[in-house]
């Protein structure tokens, strides 16, 4: 992307492209460099995994580029290498995503390889067992990683009985049971034009893209067969769960209900999160936990705007003998923010940072395509890049105080701790 581009000028350059059968994409033409980046997303993700087979979506995402159409896994990757094509897929809790990056002169080959991966992935036995082994090795590593354990236990307890409570990567028990038929069934259920969101940035015009959209996505079924996922709020808020592990440090995860990104208060909540723990060096948690007391190397918070159970969350790691003190400070800062809101200086620093850093989300074609797809998924509108900084600038101290009470409520959290915390 051209560094001189502004978010406002980018927003005005978004074109809505429609293929002959109605497949839509957002396009920003940019010929600064001869590259094309595409990102697509479909609703689904690990929340649509069969209840007894968590990890199915992640497993499938890892296999889509492991052979498709006439190419087995080796031939498929050789062809990607021959044309310098970057292609991959991933699964989150709510989506299956695909990414493509290619030189403009290899456009036809790149889009065709993406088409094959999406529509004709072979799911051969060798790559299935190889990816299964990779996922299993990752799970074995995480089984002894205190941060991963704390996070896994947080979701398992907070969303017990809900799809979000199941581990998105699966378990050591579920992975061996996932068959090729399960992967095909998931693909058949989820892959459809109905929920498809596509963004393209780079050296391609609208007419050419419309033809490529039809070629790549035209064979997908019209409708998905999504299971209904109920809205949920985290259980066990106000309690702590300690998982004993003989290590010198305790890993802490905390959280409670948050706001959907479609909520009118979400931008204000983002400013508050920056003040609490999202701003790293300027945040309250960094200042109180690390700078003043040296309790932890890092401490942070974030908003997780999941479709069916949004959260505000955070975490840190600290010595066992300082874990209770660290958590007490975190809870105190959240309660203080909920009671009194931020002060003028905090609000000003947060707003300036969020406004000034916003263009960094668009400084490459790949990042820009990802942001455009996110804007589509969240139904933010093509003018969001024009409006966003104005929304941040308009947040007043009264707004922040009101939303802080709404977001953080009574300050109660559900907390998981892995280690041997003293005095907790």
| Mean pLDDT within 186-210 | 98
Q: What is the pLDDT of residue 3?
A: 39
Give the Å distances, CA to CA, from 395 to 347, 389, 402: 9, 10, 11
Long-range Cβ contacts of 140-143 (<8 Å, 24+ apart): 140/172, 142/169, 143/172
Q: How far apart are CA 98 and CA 43, in angstroms?
A: 12
Examine residue 223 and state whether it is found in any structural domain, yes or no: no
- Is 123 within the bounds of a domain? yes
Give 10's pLDDT tier (boundaries 50, 70, 90). confident
3-state secondary structure of 116: helix
Same domain, 206 and 257: no
Residues 264 and 382 in one domain: yes
Same domain, 197 and 265: no
Are 385 and 254 found together in one domain?
yes
Beta strands in 111-239 (DSSP E): 197-202
Q: Quick check: is 233 in a domain?
A: no
Q: Strands of 245-361 (E only): list them.
A: 249-257, 299-304, 311-319
* Residue carrying structure tokens 């948690």: 285
- Crossing angle of helices 206-217/107-120, nearest 10°? 30
pLDDT grade for 157, boundaries at 50, 70 and 90? very high
User: Given a cut of 90, is residue 183 above it in pLDDT?
Assistant: yes
Are 66 and 124 within one domain? yes
Residue 7's pLDDT is 59
The pLDDT > 70 percentage for the chain reads 98
* Same domain, yes or no: 377 and 296: yes
Q: What is the predicted pLDDT for the residue at 1? A: 45
Residue 246 lies in a domain: yes
Expressed as residue numbers, the domain containing 349 is 240-419
What is the rounded average pLDDT for all residues in the chain?
96
Instruction: Indicate if 135 and 16 belong to the same structural domain.
Output: yes
Question: Which ranges in 101-145 belong to alpha helices (H)?
Answer: 107-120, 125-142
- The arithmetic mean of pLDDT across residues 350-368, rounded, is 95
Are 256 and 162 in the same domain?
no
The 10s digit of each residue's pLDDT in 19-41 is: 999 999 999 999 999 999 999 99
Q: What is the pTM of this model?
A: 0.93
By CB atoms closer than 10 A (0-12, 13-18, 19+), residue 405 is: middle
What is the pLDDT at residue 6? 53
Q: Which residues on adjacent β-strands are paired with residue 121?
A: 68
How do residues 315-358 score in pLDDT, each as one tens digit?
A: 999 999 999 999 999 999 999 999 999 999 999 999 999 999 99
Count of beta carbons in the 10 Å neighbourhood of residue 330: 28
Mean pLDDT throughout 88-106? 98
Which pLDDT band holds residue 2 (cuts at 50, 70, 90)?
Answer: very low
Q: pLDDT-based confidence at 9, cuts 50/70/90?
A: confident
Same domain, 324 and 292: yes
Q: How confident is the model at residue 77 (pLDDT cuts 50, 70, 90)?
A: very high
Domain contains 235: no
- Pick from 203, 23, 192: which is nearest to 102 by CA? 203
- Distance between the two ends of the chain, CA-based, in angstroms? 51
Q: Residue 174 is part of a domain; what is its CATH number? A: 3.30.830.10
The phi, psi pair for 246, rounded to 5°, reads -80, 80
State the pLDDT at residue 5. Answer: 44
User: How many C-beta atoms surround the C-beta of residue 52 within 10 A?
Assistant: 12
- Does 225 fall in a domain? no
**Tell me, what DSSP letter sits at residue 174?**
T
Residue 232 placed within a domain:
no
Task: Answer yes or no: do 299 and 185 share one domain.
Answer: no
Please report whether residue 222 resides in a domain.
Answer: no
Q: What is the DSSP string of 56-90?
A: HHHHHHTTTTS-BTTB-HHHHHHHHHHTT-EEEEE
Q: Which residue in the block uniquely carries the two structure tokens 């990779």?
A: 134
Q: Are residues 145 and 272 in the same domain?
A: no
Mean pLDDT on 210-229? 97
- 48 and 197 inside one domain: yes
For residue 273, what are the contacts with CB-CB under 8 A and spacing of at least 6?
A: 301, 302, 303, 312
CA torsion through residues 72, 73, 77, 78, sign: negative
Instruction: Compute the distance between CA of residue 270 and CA of residue 353 in angstroms, rounded to an integer.
Output: 12
Residue range 300-317: average pLDDT?
97
Q: What is the percent of the chain where pLDDT is above 90?
A: 94
Number of folded domains that form the chain? 2
Mean pLDDT of 222-250: 96
How far apart CA 184 and CA 201 sit, in angstroms, is 31
pLDDT at 4 over 50: no
* 343: three-class secondary structure by DSSP: coil
Which pLDDT belongs to residue 8?
A: 56
């Amino acid at each position: 992307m051209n560094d001189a581009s502004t978010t406002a000028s980018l927003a005005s350059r978004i074109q809505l492209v429609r293929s002959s059968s109605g497949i839509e994409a957002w396009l920003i033409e940019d010929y600064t460099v001869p590259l094309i980046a595409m990102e697509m997303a479909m609703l689904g993700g690990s929340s649509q995994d069969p209840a007894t087979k968590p990890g199915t979506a992640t497993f499938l995402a890892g296999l889509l580029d492991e052979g498709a159409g006439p190419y087995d896994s080796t031939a498929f990757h050789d062809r990607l290498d021959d044309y310098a094509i970057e292609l991959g897929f991933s699964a989150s809790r709510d989506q299956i995503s695909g990414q493509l990056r290619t030189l403009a002169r290899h456009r036809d080959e790149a889009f065709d390889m993406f088409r094959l991966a999406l529509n004709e992935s072979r799911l051969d036995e060798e790559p299935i067992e190889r990816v299964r082994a990779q996922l299993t090795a990752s799970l074995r590593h995480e089984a002894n990683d205190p941060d991963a354990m704390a996070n896994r236990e947080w979701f398992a307890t907070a969303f017990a009985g809900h799809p979000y409570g199941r581990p998105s990567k699966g378990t050591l028990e579920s992975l061996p049971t996932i068959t090729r038929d399960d992967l095909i069934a998931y693909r058949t259920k989820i892959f459809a034009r109905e929920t498809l969101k596509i963004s393209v940035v780079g050296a391609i015009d609208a007419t050419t893209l419309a033809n490529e959209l039809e070629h790549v996505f035209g064979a997908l079924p019209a409708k998905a067969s999504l299971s209904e996922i109920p809205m949920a709020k985290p259980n066990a808020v106000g309690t702590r769960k300690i998982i004993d592990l003989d290590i010198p440090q305790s890993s802490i995860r905390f959280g409670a209900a948050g706001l959907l990104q479609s909520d009118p208060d979400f931008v204000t909540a983002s400013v508050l999160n920056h003040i609490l723990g999202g701003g790293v060096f300027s945040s309250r948690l960094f200042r109180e936990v690390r700078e003043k007391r040296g309790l932890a190397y890092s401490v942070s918070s974030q908003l997780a705007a999941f479709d069916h159970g949004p959260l505000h969350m955070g975490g840190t790691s600290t010595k066992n003998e300082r874990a209770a003190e660290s958590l007490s400070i975190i809870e105190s800062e959240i309660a203080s923010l909920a009671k009194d809101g931020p002060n003028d200086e905090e609000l000003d620093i947060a707003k300036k940072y969020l406004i000034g850093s916003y263009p960094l989300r668009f400084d490459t074609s790949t990042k820009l395509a990802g942001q455009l797809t996110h804007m589509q998924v969240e139904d933010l509108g093509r003018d969001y890049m024009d409006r966003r900084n104005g929304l941040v600038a308009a947040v007043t101290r009264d707004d922040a105080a009101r939303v802080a009470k709404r977001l953080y409520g009574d300050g109660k959290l559900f907390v998981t701790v892995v280690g041997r915390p003293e005095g907790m």
